[in-house]
Structure 1
């Protein structure tokens, strides 16, 4: 284990192991890498997030979600959009497979938006497969799409279009992150979108429609 070069590969290893059924073997390696990182001092936020994400891929259901949450709450991922998108995708996949469709939708939609902005079509296509499996599909936003939302949904959509996380929106509106996630998931089908990045399109279409009225 190298203190600098090993940790970026942990997530790749854990993901491959989870897909091939080598949970126990990979978990021993991830635990060993985590101990190695701790031995050289407190892990950096990115290394800690990658360890949590790796453990999330390998942990039993009653432990996995806390690791996903810890990884997604790491502010360092906001500066590493590809890693954040992969985390959102993996969490969305995990939620969908447990039939928590309402919660999976926003994570998957945000992941797809990031992958498209980064020019990563294979990853965006993978998210689209998950969205279809979750029964979600998108269309072009209509000018009056925002009017179809409830007042609270409109408020959350306007905030989300600026880029903050669900947790940041929740803190601003004194709601729980799960409530924000639920409102966004219910709001997406009304303007006919599937990705968080298109919320800005909805607002622009609404503004343009009012301007031409």
Structure 2
């Protein structure tokens, strides 16, 4: 019995690793299909949709599910990712401008760093929220930023996971084309799914079912 349980867990572990590697390659390939800038948003949305399906026990083929989600959400996911891309560019430009200065410039650089950390926390929730709830596009940015502030413990965990993936990738660059992106997408999607489920339960207990609540929409997956 113990041997059978170990074998089952080992199989599940390596099956998940293989699935993550496939997700990683698909994200890179479909980002390139969209010429990078126009492909990253839909690829990230598609990745979180298939991650959520897998977490729910859906055994559908990864390639078919990813491809379908990518093209179905291409325009909408790009509209969602454009403000994030613009904000990222603005933060990088401001950091480069203020980081080398002294006095007041150092305070501004610190402010830019705080804003970047806040945005990183918001982005960790953004596409998992897109995969789970049906909202108006501006609501995703608003609700993910609010969730990042109100659930600081979860946000810290997501930022720690993101930093760990970046650090591991910098130490072992060979991970990037095979595991790094897929691992980040899977781990953040898995964590966010649990954070959102816990939040939904607490809201339901405190206020009862609220069909009009922004965090009680139907899944887009």
TM-score by length of 1: 0.29
Which structure is higher in helix share? 2
